[in-house]
Amino acid sequence: MNQRTLTDRERWWIAARWAWWGLLVATAILARTAFDAAAGGLQPRTWEDSRTYFEIASQPFSLDHLFSQAPLTVPLLYRLTNLLPSGVEALPPELAFWSWLGLTLTLSLVPRRWPARALGLLIGCSFLLAPLRVGWTGVVLSESINDSLAAALVTVGMLLGTGTSRLPGGRLRSLLCVGLAVALGIVGVAWLLTRDSNPISMLAAIPLLCVVGGRRRGPEQRWALPLLSVAVCVSLVALWSSHVIPPQPTGLSVHASLEPPLTARSAHPLYDNLFMRVLPDPEARSYFLARGLPDVAALDRYAVPIDEAGLRARLGPESEALTFPLWEPAALTDPELADARAWLAARGTSTYVGWLFQHPLDRFDELARASFLILAPNDLAYYMPDGFPRDGISLAGNAGVVLLLVIGFPVFLTRFRGSGFVGLGACLVLGGVAGATASYLGDAAEIQRHCYGPGQLVILGLAVGFLGWVEAGGTRGQGRRGEPIA
């Protein structure tokens, strides 16, 4: 039997494919070395919220934790990893590295054209080695775990929706689809139960996900409806759980001496909004008074005047004034404010939402002015541990790069039908904008930290959209497309 001789072009493509794999292996090794060098020097830092995570993790597991002060995922992971010799301190860096490395490799392998693969490698490395991403791994808060789970969710979703289409039909492809679908469901549920803004991001992105996913055909398509149904159900349960009063006593030090309605997860952000947005604004103040808010004069006594000089001295010259809660916690226990607290527990949230919708254009203008505070935060270094790597590659930390991506995104959308990457990028941007809006308007305190996760989704979506535009645009040019690698 005669064996066909390979042409020079075919030999070149085989050699190029092996060279690309070699480059990816070398990149992974170098990235691990750089990541370990940056993260290894961090001294873990804890905050007041850290104690809450540890206290929940130390309690016997119960479904009541769904209504606890912190969403379920982070305390549960701390509880599981605390059983390991390395403890909870090893979880965030390992989860961050492997999640973002997986996304980097996926962005480098799934595109069919070489320029898009090279761009995917550059994008992935810039996110993987971003200083803030490394820094958050040394902070005992939910930001790093939330960030890593988002990367894992995008990675598994891309592999299920695009990567499996390269495989020949048969049992192997079906089994791989089952495994990826189960992994996507588990990671998705974990991410939705990590921060209260995540369900809003998911619900906002789902309609566009249906449009993007509806164009695909294959065995992976059968999993779309079950997975989206699970996402909707879990999102609604997560949103509902933040307003539920947990069984008393909660056993958490942050709830000591508090009335039961104040132990709901949504209670503290409501007071942040009251003291930092409503009472200082004459129009908002009148809106609440007209709807029956009592004891406003007594509430005013617990408002802390903005000390811009003190905040700038503590946080740096670029800090925003509304960074930390500007009210005294004693407002939660003063007997004189019992009627005000009862009114806020019964009508506070609905009244605040009603006020937001009174002047939507003002809220939109406020969000637009704060867009770079969300997308390119400049004062998160305050949260970082000792040894924080201030220098490094950072796509999201460069306001110029972010601005170029924002300006170019409408151009990227012109290839929406020609590239699944552009569709995925649009979903990430839409979900990130919805989550950032909810985080910004949902809690007036620590805006930069609360908006970090949704802001990163927006930046990642812009970058993936650019990747899709390069991929789809290249197919109309001359030259041969790269052969599938994955």
45 contacts 115 by C-beta, under 8 angstroms: no
What would the mean pLDDT of 397-403 be, rounded to a whole number? 78
Q: Taking Cα atoms as reference points, which of 466, 455, 427 lies closest to residue 136?
A: 455
401 contacts 395 by C-beta, under 8 angstroms: yes
Reported as a pLDDT band with limits 50, 70 and 90, residue 86 is low
If you average pLDDT over every residue of the chain, what do you get?
85
User: In whole angstroms, what is the distance from residue 234 CA to residue 243 CA?
Assistant: 15
This prediction has a pTM of: 0.90
Which two tokens mark 305? Answer: 């005047």
Residue 328: per-residue pLDDT: 86
User: In whole angstroms, what is the distance from residue 55 CA to residue 374 CA?
Assistant: 30
Which two tokens mark 64? Answer: 């009541």
Residue 317: per-residue pLDDT: 45
Residue 469: per-residue pLDDT: 92
Reported as a pLDDT band with limits 50, 70 and 90, residue 235 is very high
Residue 324: per-residue pLDDT: 61
Residue 125: per-residue pLDDT: 94
What would the mean pLDDT of 8-25 be, rounded to a whole number? 85
Burial class, 225, CB count within 10 angstroms (exposed 0-12 / middle 13-18 / buried 19+): exposed
Rg (the chain; Cα; Å): 24
What would the mean pLDDT of 157-176 be, rounded to a whole number? 75
Range in 251-255, 348-352, 406-410, 472-476 the model is least confident about: 472-476
User: 195's torsion region: left (phi>0), alpha (psi -120 to 50) or beta?
Assistant: beta
